């Protein structure tokens, strides 16, 4: 069964304090791994798609990496506006739907 | 990125009534849309896959007679919560696919009183 586990559940950082969020997954053939940002009361906002181990993508202060078993979302010198819940999801080869992790709730204090 | 518009953003209804939620793809055609449900501080749970011109595919444990899905055109899917009860109160979100990427609507906060 496809599974996605995110850790930590919650993370509190000081502004400028870099850290990483983890997404461990098991899937019967990975079509893609996705990272989303979700603000309270809103739908998820697309950040990255990773397709194969070794792939990396960057966007502003965020960098996503992928291995065969997990993905990391690295956040460098975060700002308070980066506070949100970050969701990881996987999509298997045999269908188009996505399985989400429970998310990491990130709070960045000024 | 592609835009998915979901309406209404919030709705309060009385127990026993039905509520319809609309999901529109504004700048792409979506032969498939997905409906999710999210409880507070929990992740998105896939409810059903909506297929244009055919029946929706429901996940295990989701009552298809209670959550009616209609996908009559390539840009519109609707979810109707029938005979709503307080336990149906939740955040409902739809998404459409562009190539391999999913784009989400803003979500609908349903409160059944």
pLDDT in 10s for each residue of chain A, 110 residues: 788 999 999 999 999 999 999 999 998 888 899 999 999 989 999 999 999 999 999 999 999 999 999 999 999 999 999 999 999 999 887 776 788 999 999 999 99
pLDDT of residue B57: 92
The mean predicted confidence, pLDDT, of chain B is 93
Closest CA to B18 of B67, B77, B71: B67
B-chain residues within 8 Å CB-CB of A29? none
Question: Å from A17 to nearest chain B CA?
Answer: 24
Name the residue with tokens 């009860």: B85
Q: Which residues contact A12 (CB under 8 A, 6 or more apart)?
A: A106, A107, A108, A109
Question: Å from B16 to nearest chain A CA?
Answer: 25
pLDDT of residue A62: 98
pLDDT of residue A24: 97
pLDDT of B34 strictly over 90 = yes
Q: Do the chains contact at A105 and B107, CB–CB below 8 Å?
A: no
Question: Å from A20 to nearest chain B CA?
Answer: 19
Q: Do the chains contact at A42 and B109, CB–CB below 8 Å?
A: no
A53 close to A67: Cβ distance less than 8 angstroms? yes
Q: Do the chains contact at B104 and A36, CB–CB below 8 Å?
A: yes
Beta-ladder partners of A36: A46, A87
Count CA within 13 A, CB hemisphere, residue A69.
0
Q: Do the chains contact at A43 and B105, CB–CB below 8 Å?
A: yes
pLDDT tens by residue, B52-89 = 888 999 999 999 999 999 998 999 999 999 999 999 99
CA angle B92, B96, B101 (to 5 degrees): 115
């Amino acid at each position: 069964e496809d599974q996605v586990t995110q850790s930590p559940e919650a993370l509190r950082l000081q502004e400028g304090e870099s850290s990483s969020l983890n997404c461990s997954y098991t899937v019967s053939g990975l079509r893609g791994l996705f990272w989303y940002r979700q603000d309270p009361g809103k739908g998820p906002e697309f950040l990255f798609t990773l397709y194969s181990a070794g792939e990396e993508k960057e966007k502003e202060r965020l960098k996503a990496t992928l291995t065969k078993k997990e993905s990391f979302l690295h956040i460098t010198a975060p700002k308070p506006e980066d506070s949100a819940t970050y969701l990881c999801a996987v999509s298997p080869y045999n269908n188009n739907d996505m399985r989400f992790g429970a998310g990491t709730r990130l709070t960045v204090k000024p | 990125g592609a835009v998915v518009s979901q309406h209404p953003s919030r709705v309060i209804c009385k127990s026993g009534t039905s509520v319809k939620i609309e999901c529109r793809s504004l700048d792409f055609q979506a032969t498939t849309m997905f409906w999710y449900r999210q409880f507070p501080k929990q992740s998105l749970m896939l409810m059903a896959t909506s297929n244009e011109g055919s029946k929706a595919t429901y996940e295990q444990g989701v009552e298809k007679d209670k959550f009616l899905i209609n996908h009559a055109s390539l840009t519109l899917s609707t979810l109707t919560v029938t005979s709503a009860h307080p336990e149906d109160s939740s955040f409902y979100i739809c998404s459409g696919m562009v190539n391999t990427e999913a784009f989400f609507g803003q979500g609908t906060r349903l409160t059944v009183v």
